[in-house]
Amino acid sequence: MKNIDSITHLRGESIYLDDIPLLQGTLFAAAFPSPMAHGVIKQLDLSEAERMPGVVRIFTHKDIPGINQIGGIVPDEPLLAEGHVDFCGMPVALVVAESRDAARAAVKKIKIDIDPRPVVTDPREAQANDQLIVPPRTFRLGDTSAAWQQCTHIFQGRADTNGQEHLYIETQGAYAIPQENNALKIYSSTQGPTAVQRAVSKVTGLPMHQLDIDTIRLGGGFGGKEDQANTWAALCALAAYLLKRPVKYSLHRMEDMAMTGKRHPYSSDFKIGLDNDLKIIAYEATFYQNAGAAADLSPAVLERTLFHCTNSYFIPHVRATAYSCRTHLPPNTAFRGFGGPQGMFVIEAAIAKAAEALGIDASVIQQKNLTKTGDEFPYGQKAESEAHACWENAEQLYALASIRDEQSAYNKANKLLKKGLAVMPVCFGISFTKTLMNQARALVHVYTDGSVAVSTGAVEMGQGVNTKMLQVAAQVFSIPPHRVKIQSTSTYRIANTSPSAASATADLNGKAVSMACTEIVQRLKAVAAEEWQVQPGAVELKEECVYINGTKTDWDWNRLVMTAYVKRVSLSEHAHYATPEINFDASKEKGHPFAYHVYGTAIVETTVDCLRGTYTTDAVKVVHDFGSSMNPAIDRGQIEGGIVQGIGWMTMEEVIYDKEGRLRSNALSTYKVPDIYSVPNEIAIQFLRPTVNDNLAIFRSKAVGEPPLMYGIGVYFALRNAIKAFNPGAEIPFDAPMTPEKLLMALYTKGNPAKHEQTVNHLATHP
């Protein structure tokens, strides 16, 4: 089935925050961002700004009727700066004016005097100063200190990954509309309506039941709106509540880039030990997470780094420690993969380092150490592994050996162009790592005309979750899809939602939809059974018709629904789903946190232009564990998008803050994201045969949102191998992204570069 939004998207009729018709009297907000990363506010002069035309009010922390606090996990994040500033872009004041332009013009007239304090942007430096968001955490399996003696080969190193701008096409924003008796309706471009509701409740002092957060859809989230939509909604709500007028704030792209957090940069140390047989015996890693100036979701992101620190491999002795380091950058936040990719990059770097030193292909080590069913992850859960199945399927299906042969023949024949290959296995745990978040609810109404409305806590952000929810309802009722409508996500209809995140949204909300619909079906069957004087078990609903003992009757869905109504049988249901079996004990760092794991393997081929340092991704060929995909078109889209986003993170997207903590890559002219020319020439996706361990997935269709991003890591290592093909002695730090600049430098590090003169001659004769 096609994504139900495809037609309105194509026609430009889909409604995003900025498309909502404005009410008369709507005001426009704009935040005044701190121009400095760290310092004490000595004076804030609003007088000139207040005199600007169209300005209605300028708010500061002093105007907040509730508490000036929006921190979710740790209460360390003021909505508006109070006394000091902690990052460049931190909202200090909020201008509310009659127009967008007036608000922005007034922001420019605000004057601030800040007494500067030292700015720290490096997580290692923050850790050395004891600036930690939460205490460090360590996951352990076996005993690494004893295990080193068993190792024939031991390698150590450092690996760094940079941040990543979410670049959702729709920027952050909110529109708050006062209702009677102090209630507020807030349209918010958020992945977490309940998170917005909590933040607004804290700031305004209003109880949550006064706050209807309503979300139609997002133009992308990618994690950036899991927590950080709260700020803009809380600012609009504050102003709307105090001024009793509707207030809207939709961020300009450059405001959004400068003021919001990104994927966490990590700097990490690793030590890996292998035996004679290339089995990885021991692995130690220390992760320094650049959290930025406030906790935001960093502690949860940190946790997922530890969960995924061994990726798809079984290693008997592991010790991994992670520090969440407070720096003076905008608070970094959730981003597709949520710390998992950062952890996986380090183990892949460790394996690459071992392989390069031993003069073998990394895939030899990778394959030998893939997790098998029954193997224990460092956090105690036992694997039900598809790692070998995915790897071996990919190896055969895509003829890995012949790709290798073709590449080496190509590399022999070409001086200036070199190909590189990498295999990237992925294993990603599905569930929020915080067990309590793994719950969801659905509200289903069947109307007397037979049409069906479904509300859930799921937020549509382009990932197609509404289509999947619709499929669930249509299938359980056995009615055609057009009879079902998915309503917007509203905290008045569905309470206490978890954010749409962790790849788990379709599973959690879909299970709740299925339960609610199943309950209504039971009631409808009882109605039919009474009418036909049979047991309810004899009744079946199939394709909008009632069947009794396998025989089609003249009762259709509409007649059944109407009869139930006439008999005063409830046609509505609210169902609650909580993932069974999962648990985690943070005091021991052991448990069974994930409903299941998603596995996959990608074979990645790249070509490097060794004169220019430019490159192409020739192919990403994947065998992916979808379970039994309930919507292959949507799931393929998720894989393709995830791969390209992962490639962007690994190769070209470079978030740059200067030493003063100012974002230098603050627009699309200075921040390069993948375009049509940088997508792989070929993306092949093979569905692994359905497996048995996926019954906690909705309709056995496994979570698909985040896992494919990690295939992009393979491109980094394929590029490394291409560089090595050109200059076997090249010294290349494990420092992603591998931008063309860095790649060019690596090609010509000491070692054995091809002679440049010769190269130029070659070019001259072969244009």
Active site (catalytic) residues = 706
CA neighbor of 260 nearest in space, from 342, 325, 168, 322: 168
Site for ligand LUZ in 33-92 (CB under 6 A): none
Q: Which does 165 bind (CB under 5 to 8 A by kind): ligand MOS, ligand LUZ, none?
A: none
CA neighbor of 348 nearest in space, from 736, 746, 744: 736
CA neighbor of 514 nearest in space, from 476, 468, 552: 476
Q: How far is the CB of 336 from ligand LUZ (least distance, A)?
A: 7
**Residue position matching structure tokens 């460049």:** 88
Q: Which is nearer to ligand LUZ, 306 or 452 (CB)?
A: 306
Q: Which is nearer to ligand MOS, 223 or 273 (CB)?
A: 223
Q: Which is nearer to ligand MOS, 78 or 510 (CB)?
A: 510
Q: How far is the CB of 343 from ligand MOS (least distance, A)?
A: 14
Q: 122: helix, coil or strand?
A: coil
* Residue 440 interacting with ligand LUZ (CB under 6 A): no
Q: How far is the CB of 84 from ligand MOS (least distance, A)?
A: 29
Q: 573: helix, coil or strand?
A: strand
Alpha-carbon torsion (180, 181, 187, 192), positive or negative: negative
Q: Which does 304 bind (CB under 5 to 8 A by kind): ligand LUZ, ligand MOS, none?
A: ligand LUZ
CA distances from 140 to 204, 307, 317, 559, 593 (A): 44, 11, 8, 61, 16
- Give the binding range for ligand LUZ (CB under 6 A) out of 237-245, 309-317, 430-438, 480-488: 430-438
Q: Which does 300 bind (CB under 5 to 8 A by kind): ligand LUZ, ligand MOS, none?
A: ligand LUZ
Q: 94: helix, coil or strand?
A: strand
Q: Which does 335 bind (CB under 5 to 8 A by kind): ligand LUZ, ligand MOS, none?
A: ligand MOS
- Contact positions vs ligand MOS (CB under 6 A): 191, 223, 226, 334-336, 338, 501-502, 706
**Helix then strand then coil, % of the chain, to nearest 5:** 35, 25, 40
d(CA 652, CA 648): 5
Secondary structure E strands in 538-625: 539-542, 545-548, 551-556, 572-578, 583-585, 590-592, 596-609, 615-624
Q: Which is nearer to ligand LUZ, 231 or 250 (CB)?
A: 231
Q: Which does 433 bind (CB under 5 to 8 A by kind): ligand MOS, ligand LUZ, none?
A: ligand LUZ
Q: How far is the CB of 432 from ligand LUZ (least distance, A)?
A: 4
Q: How far is the CB of 225 from ligand MOS (least distance, A)?
A: 8
CA neighbor of 687 nearest in space, from 631, 640, 625, 633: 625
Alpha-carbon torsion (195, 92, 128, 282), positive or negative: positive
Site for ligand LUZ in 296-315 (CB under 6 A): 297, 300, 304
Task: Determine contact, residues 459/191, Cβ cutoff 8 Å.
Answer: yes
Q: Which does 191 bind (CB under 5 to 8 A by kind): ligand LUZ, ligand MOS, none?
A: ligand MOS
Q: Which does 204 bind (CB under 5 to 8 A by kind): ligand MOS, ligand LUZ, none?
A: none
Site for ligand LUZ in 471-530 (CB under 6 A): 501-502
Q: Which is nearer to ligand MOS, 168 or 313 (CB)?
A: 168
Q: Which residue is nearest to ligand MOS (CB)?
A: 223
d(CA 558, CA 447): 10
Task: Determine contact, residues 340/161, Cβ cutoff 8 Å.
Answer: no
Q: Which of 28, 432, 594, 671 binds ligand LUZ (CB under 6 A)?
A: 432
Give DSSP secondary structure letters for 169-205: SSPPEEEEEE-GGG-EEEEE--S-HHHHHHHHHHHH-
Site for ligand LUZ in 336-355 (CB under 6 A): 338
Q: Which residues bind ligand LUZ (CB under 6 A)?
A: 226, 297, 300, 304, 334, 338, 432-434, 437, 501-502
